[in-house]
Structure 1
Amino acid sequence: MSEQSGAIARPRTSTRDTGEARAAVGAWLRTRVPDPDAEVLDLDIPSANGMSSETLLLTARWTEQGAPVERRLVLRLAPRGDAVPVFPRYDLAAQFESMRLVRDHVPVPDVHWYEPDPAPLGSPFFVMERLDGRVPPDIPPYVYGSWVTELSAQARSEMQDATVGVIAALHRIPDAASTFAFLDREAPDGRSTLRRHVDATRAYADWATGGRPSPLIDRGFAWLDANWPGEEGPTVLSWGDSRVGNIMYTEGRDVRPAAVLDWEMAALGVPELDLAWLVDLHRMFQTGAERRGVPGLPDFLRWADVAAHYAELTGYQPRDEDFHQVYATLRMSVVTLRTQLRAVRFGEIEMPEDPDDLIRARCDLEELITG
């Protein structure tokens, strides 16, 4: 995280040439639509791309069945191997399929095409609809002053309830274990859903550290083993990166989710995973703001409120707050450790003597596992 804002530092932005990308996308588009004259009218490469992928924004035009078609699109590319990716496996096909399957339950952009061949643009990619709305900013975090802080207390409460409603709707999708079996990255072999999720995170941590031991990460996993829940929740589709910064909200007073974005961390899980991630990512921003004398939003996204509304919507009462708060902080610690090691690789920061100094949530994790 940035020392100034508490935000997670973004990796290097795209080095693609806009003109070359526009021509390449146009050539590919003409293989997908029934119009040899299809064209990309404009293409933009955002200066702050995502932490683990590359995004292109474009407007395309073609003729279909004699009628003109013009679409505003988003093209999401998998990271190239030389980009020191944040995740070891970037399964665009799984993201594409997840969005396709959940669109009848929560608002997501329509997904149009998936291209597994890296030849057209150097990496596999998929194309989806581009929607309008507003997203709580990460840099600087929305708690430092944003459209979220400017909402009335009532509007923000409604925004919170609507956000929990999205998670509840995802978790109510029936037969998740079968429908989303392609997201299960660990062989079942008798282990519970939660155990497989934690084991997958442990394997990710081993990969992410690149052979550099992290005593704090190891302590975190040991704490989880020692404090394992006596009763685990039901198996549900876990969105994974369930934070308000991954939701596009409607404009105006009626703040509702317009699009649920970023499905790269989707998996099978238990309800508390998404709820704790939602609460904990806000808590990290909030505690960072308070340490800098900024009031932030102390009454927003508190576990008690989130869990209570989730129980109202689903009939399931979330439990084991401490366990899931530690697990959420540990997961974020692994991700930020990887992004910082990435920055070391690119010469943006120096490698400290203590690798745990790269963990931007170090204080939070240490405090949680020591009580």
Structure 2
Amino acid sequence: MRTLQLQEAEDILYGACIYGTGGGGSLSEGLEIIKNIYRNGKEIKLIALEDVKDHWLVASPYYVGSVAPPSDEIVQKLKGLKPVKENVSTIATRILQKNLREEIKCICATELGGNTAWAMEVAASLDIPLVDADPAGRAVPDLAQTTFNIFDVSIAPFALANRYGDTLVVETAASHDRAEAIARTFATISGNYSGICDHPVKGEKFRTSVIEGTISKAQAVGRAMRLANEDGVNPIETITLAGDGKILFKGTVSEASWEEVRGFIEGTINIKSDNLKDEMSVWFRNENMTARIADKIVSIIPELIIILDYQTGKPLLNPSCKAGMEVAVLSFPAPTIWETDKGLSIFGPEYIGMEKKDYLNLKIINGMGK
């Protein structure tokens, strides 16, 4: 186990938001969370997956919601309620511990992205370590898109908390999809924002149900970005190398639009090449789902499609993409667990109404599969 310095924690968050593929939570909000941890004299401890004990209880705190503003009706219903000061994910974790009558011994980030900072905050607040692993290896839009689902780890019991003092413990859920519906409904009536802590699981099962080393990978990518900027070198190739990825496209955003659809943010980002002859279109549902050039798919989930500021290499949250931004589009390989039959059935092309062969054919074209 090692104690992270502020710079290390910030590197992790930058890298995590690169792995966030346009979603996964806000980088700026995450950085502020991390700074507050150290301002308040707390620390973040990172533990290797292999060091998680069999009998330890592990859980995943994060936030669920939408970047879209709440409806006028919800705003009126919440008007006058006094917000709580504590992080809502920390509240949810305390409520889950109370319900289970057992202490949570370490924290697992639910995904890579701004949400990773929420896991850090909960770990620091409870003075327990964060595990160098997660159940996604990237950011994903749906609570069901987790390796816990692949390995039949129950999402329930789970706890929800909002900033107005409401808490809810869901003792059982028929499926991950049902849990998703419950959590998003709670978030919607809470102003499109709530904390959650789920997937309480013993260490013995936990160690075989997550992707190892993802926090360290995020740190390596974030550090590569920072050092390139400090050295005055364009960071795009450095980030690509650190993530074992490839550069798909470079150009300027010509158009970007999105709308809220059933609690998700869906939209398209169009990017013109420097010579104006080619155009890439990236479609997202919270996270980037497909990338096309002239209607030809060049990347599709579960591959990671990443849009970065071309000059700084900083990751862009999809709703923040604006016309005129100079960007690079990268792809990182999918964690191998997502390429299994069950993995693809949970988070593959079929999730967005396409066919599994769209991904398998792309791997063959790119010389990555048979």
Q: TM-score, normalised by structure 2?
A: 0.26
Which has more helix, going by share of residues?
A: 1
Which protein is bigger by CA-based radius of gyration?
Answer: 1
- Work out which structure has the larger RCO, using CA pairs closer than 8 Å and 6 or more positions apart in sequence: 2
Q: Which has the larger strand fraction?
A: 2
